[in-house]
Structure 1
Amino acid sequence: RFAVSVGYWKDPYIQYFVRQAKERKAPEINRGKLACYYARVHGVSYLIKAFLKKTECNCQIVNLGAGMDTLFWRLKDENLLPRKYFEVDFPMIVARKIHNIKSKPPLSKPIMESHSGDSLLIDSHSLDSSRYSIVGADLRFSSDLEEKLKKHNLFFFLNLPTLLVAECVLVYMTPQQSANLLQWAASTFPVAMFINYEQVNMTDRFGQIMIENLQRRQCNLAGVEVCRSLDSQRERLLLNGWETARAIDMMKVYSFLPQADVKRIEGLEFLDEKELFEQLMQHYCICWASKDSSNL
């Protein structure tokens, strides 16, 4: 939310989910992280919109580990809603998000406006409308995920191209658990694309420092061994049922972004330590994979 408040990108809905952070980090860390978030938001958004345009929005999106993400509302504002948009996260997170949706008209109204049908199904751990569903499930267990999604008619849209998005999600699973999830997705959806954003190059000194800092905050990256390199990220996708896979680090993504806007955001926070910023960007990546890409 802080990044939005100082102008890195626009998101009129995040204020309804996340309180403003009071703490300011050191400028190089602050700017480095915010610029990395900026590249992440724009990089992932570019791939999502390319998928939506290619399919003419006749598709479904499954946002895995969505947290307080506001993508559904932003896509609706741009008239880019897919036929159905699903979100999945732990039941506790989903309950909090549903509470916010129910209590904030700017969130609930767009869901009602896009809903057609007799009744909108909603309880403390799930919400199901004709265009938006949010489901509480543990992504580490594909059978649990499939069971919950079946209740929300995911498989009614099985013939549609399906985009699955995971941002900083797979790295918190063991390699076997993330492999199971990727295999499940590849075997379930005939025409599909998978977008993954997470750490990379984690075996060098900078990567080790990142891991140590996270461990000090009781944050365990159970799947970090897959984050060795861009090659290891691609390999995981190809070994688990995906036909094509690409991966680029965030410094490369940053270089592809419109330079006028990059200059604008670089003027928001002064930064001396460009080397530190570049190191941070080289330790995150976007990967994307497809299945039956001839139809995408």
Structure 2
Amino acid sequence: MADLLPPLKPIPIKDRLSILFIEKGHLDVLDGAFVVVDKTGVRTHIPVGGVVCLMLEPGTRVSHAAAALAARVGTLLVWVGEAGVRLYSSGQPGGARADRLLYQAMLALDEKLRLKVVRKMYAMRFGEEPPARRSVEQLRGIEGARVRETYKLIAKKYGVEWKARNYDTSDWDKADIPNRCLSAATACLYGVTEAAVLAAGYAPAIGFIHTGKPLSFVYDVADVYKFETVVPVAFRIAARKPINPEQQVRIACRDIFRESRLLERIIPGIEEMLAAGEVVPPVPPEESVPPAIPNPESLGDAGHRA
């Protein structure tokens, strides 16, 4: 009977649940599925490959079997701190495809091509073309000024007292509620974005606007969607001044990811950003590793489910 069962295939990013947070439990594998065992022995099963990324909070232990299963099914494991501050994340298969990496690196190393990509990111983020004859550094400065002003406008809309983006990862409680909410919200966005970047075969570290950081490209891509998704959520929650703002932000982020269909848009968005360089991507060799989470081929026409 086992031979009659179809082989397991990773579920495309766009069809998955975005994020799940795990706290004070042991993540292991039982009967081929993720299972979280708390201190009382209660087991909670998580569908294999049905989640984009698992956020592991303090007090969580992970078995070797769970890490291996996460890599096989393309679920990103993200170790986060008390307030969603990123600590470490596991890799995914397909995250180092030579053709995609060469394409991305070629665009990032050539200043003219890089500028085209940065201008496209700017246009996608703000809905208008950036000023002409500006360098990457000048556009970065213009973007920073617009971002600071946008924070003020959204805070005013929700009646939140806003001073500046400021937080200390070593002493989280010193930050005010708006900054705590924003950090928790952006951690959620960065997690699903990193999972999409890796699944598509690109390198998180090769950025265009952000540079010199392990997740530079993740920040570039996430910033395109930040102000239409998680920032309004963060300020809306902050306005309520809840007892546990981070938890409410995470739940609200999961909802906005679904409502905005974000997971369906990130990978096509990455392709659109890079296509602005107007160069032909290298042809992958026959022996190259395919995308980690490919879209399935449909047996019918466009009106049928894949």
Same fold (TM over 0.5): no
Structure of larger gyration radius: 2
Q: TM-score normalised to the size of structure 1?
A: 0.26
The answer to which structure has the higher strand fraction is 1
